[in-house]
Chain A
């Protein structure tokens, strides 16, 4: 096990975060704060409680998920796409490091950054709304697992992408709609029965629901399914990455 390589990649990636602190941390925090002001304080005050929770507080888990998902994907996809783009990938491919080690370095760094942003947003939320966390340990567990699994997913996108447009394509066309339709801003029980069933095919529903459960103790789907879904996604991504490195797909000529 080349632990030193994992640490080297992790440090190098985190250095990029600190170098670009403003765009890395401040901008997602700012945009989420705007959501709080608009949906939580301004419009939220005219919306009824959702299943006993004030709307401003109700959207907090969904907002954190929205940011954490997009951040995990963009951090990890950029992290591996950039070396491909500027050519420094040669060093990774010629290093005595396995696919697991290279992936671990990039994914852990991307997940760390996403987790930090998620926690900062949570901290910011306390300034806007009254919030209690029913299951803090589960809250953190779900958050960490989400950061890890979507960083893995982002890593795959970064390897797949052959230009900057493709790098943005999946986050923009798939992830954002899935999160918005995944109950980030509403409970799927508010939907007509048909759309409730359709929603169950949206993986993000399980994430948001499980995460919201950790805050308020209520969920759209049983929390066990949420945890299972996250693990399933994590394993699927790992399997895809193992295949990519074994075959050299989009990496080795």
Chain B
């Protein structure tokens, strides 16, 4: 897949001297969902703002669909939709009018049928004639998405789309985002909910201190960095791990009723068979066995810590 958005050595130093972006280079492939993860103040929003023209870059360049965002800003910006983190909306205006305004602002001719489609997709159609201040927080966030989609962008930035949104709405939003991807829209998502990245993203980028620490396919990342864990529920609780099992590095949980064994799935010998044999030799009866993979969240926390200590 070709890159629809290309960020090349982007640097942003604010007037205060704070460097929010420190030579960021990143290629976004057409049609993918890229999750941009990073702790607060990592540079996520600055990166998005600089790509979209809200913040001026100190150096470096960005192109969207091959158009430079400075020298060919019209062609570049027409392709981009932005859903900001803060709920920034004109409170007194009707839903339909603000969405219509956004479409016009981006130079698109009026198309009420298209706006109707978007508003229906986002369950906003019934609210179209209501003033925005009468909507709930989740609904306002949908209005932001509707505005960003109103001019049919090829690239959509979602900056913390599910902040302050309840679980049900969040799942609805994920469905909308997947539908957009099927329609061919490229999506860049920043989020604190790692669950969200795990559920949606094709690739993960981790940013911290204004630097990209890693960009990788999500599945590959999970495979590469994911530790697996085997939980062994015992029929009879034990007080301590028998000496014969000391080599396995087991931990005892749930008052001695569960043994937890961490292993690397990529290793040639996982040690599972050996452990189970040793257990039966030690006279411990196994009631149940469950394996689970470490979540992206654990991977992420590990990465950021590693980056900070380096």
What 6 pairs across the A-B complex have the smallest Cβ distances? A8-B104, A87-B88, A96-B77, A96-B74, A94-B52, A2-B107
Over the window 75-104 of chain A, the binary record of Cβ atoms lying under 8 Å from chain B Cβ atoms (1 yes, 0 no) is: 000000011001110111111111000000
Contact partner of B53 (CB less than 8 A), chosen from A5, A7, A15, A94, is A94
Please determine whether B88 and A86 come into contact, CB atoms closer than 8 angstroms: yes
Residues of chain A within 8 A (CB-CB) of B84 are 87, 90
Closest Cβ of chain A to B190, distance in Å, is 15
**Cα distance, A86 to B54, chains bound together (Å):** 15
Closest Cβ of chain A to B114, distance in Å, is 14
**Cα distance, A94 to B77, chains bound together (Å):** 7
List residues 77-134 of chain A with CB under 8 A from any CB of chain B: 82-83, 86-88, 90-98
Please determine whether A252 and B106 come into contact, CB atoms closer than 8 angstroms: no
Please determine whether B73 and A96 come into contact, CB atoms closer than 8 angstroms: yes
Closest Cβ of chain B to A15, distance in Å, is 6
A9 interfacial by beta-carbon distance below 8 Å? yes
| Contact A2 to B74, CB < 8 A, known contacts A11-B104, A91-B105, A252-B54 | yes
- Residue numbers of B with Cβ under 8 A of A are 14, 49, 52-56, 73-78, 80, 82, 84, 86, 88-93, 97-98, 100-109, 147
Residues of chain B within 8 A (CB-CB) of A45 are none
| Sample of 20 more A-B contacts, CB < 8 Å, known A86-B89, A96-B106 | A4-B108, A8-B103, A8-B104, A8-B105, A11-B104, A12-B101, A15-B97, A16-B92, A82-B90, A87-B84, A88-B88, A88-B89, A88-B90, A90-B84, A91-B88, A91-B147, A94-B53, A94-B80, A96-B76, A253-B49
Contact partner of A5 (CB less than 8 A), chosen from B52, B54, B89, B105, is B105
Please determine whether A4 and B104 come into contact, CB atoms closer than 8 angstroms: yes
Please determine whether B82 and A5 come into contact, CB atoms closer than 8 angstroms: no
Please determine whether A4 and B107 come into contact, CB atoms closer than 8 angstroms: yes
A19 interfacial by beta-carbon distance below 8 Å? yes
Closest Cβ of chain B to A13, distance in Å, is 10
Residues of chain A within 8 A (CB-CB) of B93 are 12, 15-16, 19
Residues of chain B within 8 A (CB-CB) of A93 are 52-54
Residue from B49, B53, B75, B100 with most neighbouring chain A CB atoms (10 Å): B53
Contact partner of A9 (CB less than 8 A), chosen from B82, B97, B105, is B105
What total count of A-B pairs have CB within 8 Å? 89
Residues of chain B within 8 A (CB-CB) of A86 are 88-91
**Cα distance, A42 to B108, chains bound together (Å):** 56
Residues of chain B within 8 A (CB-CB) of A97 are 105, 107
Interface of A is mostly: helix
Residues of chain A within 8 A (CB-CB) of B104 are 4-5, 7-9, 11
Please determine whether A4 and B109 come into contact, CB atoms closer than 8 angstroms: yes
A217 interfacial by beta-carbon distance below 8 Å? no
**Cα distance, A253 to B103, chains bound together (Å):** 25
A-B contact pairs, 16 of them (CB 8 A): A4-B107, A5-B104, A5-B107, A8-B100, A9-B105, A12-B93, A12-B98, A12-B101, A15-B93, A19-B92, A86-B88, A88-B88, A91-B105, A96-B73, A96-B78, A252-B53
Closest Cβ of chain B to A229, distance in Å, is 34
**Cα distance, A94 to B102, chains bound together (Å):** 11
List residues 1-60 of chain A with CB under 8 A from any CB of chain B: 2, 4-5, 7-9, 11-12, 15-16, 19
**Cα distance, A16 to B90, chains bound together (Å):** 10
Q: Which residue of B lies closest to A247 (CB)?
A: B56
**Cα distance, A235 to B14, chains bound together (Å):** 32
A248 interfacial by beta-carbon distance below 8 Å? yes
**Cα distance, A201 to B264, chains bound together (Å):** 83
**Cα distance, A168 to B39, chains bound together (Å):** 40
Q: Which residue of A lies closest to B72 (CB)?
A: A96
Residue from B54, B74, B103 with most neighbouring chain A CB atoms (10 Å): B54
Q: Which residue of A lies closest to B54 (CB)?
A: A93
Residues of chain B within 8 A (CB-CB) of A8 are 100-101, 103-105
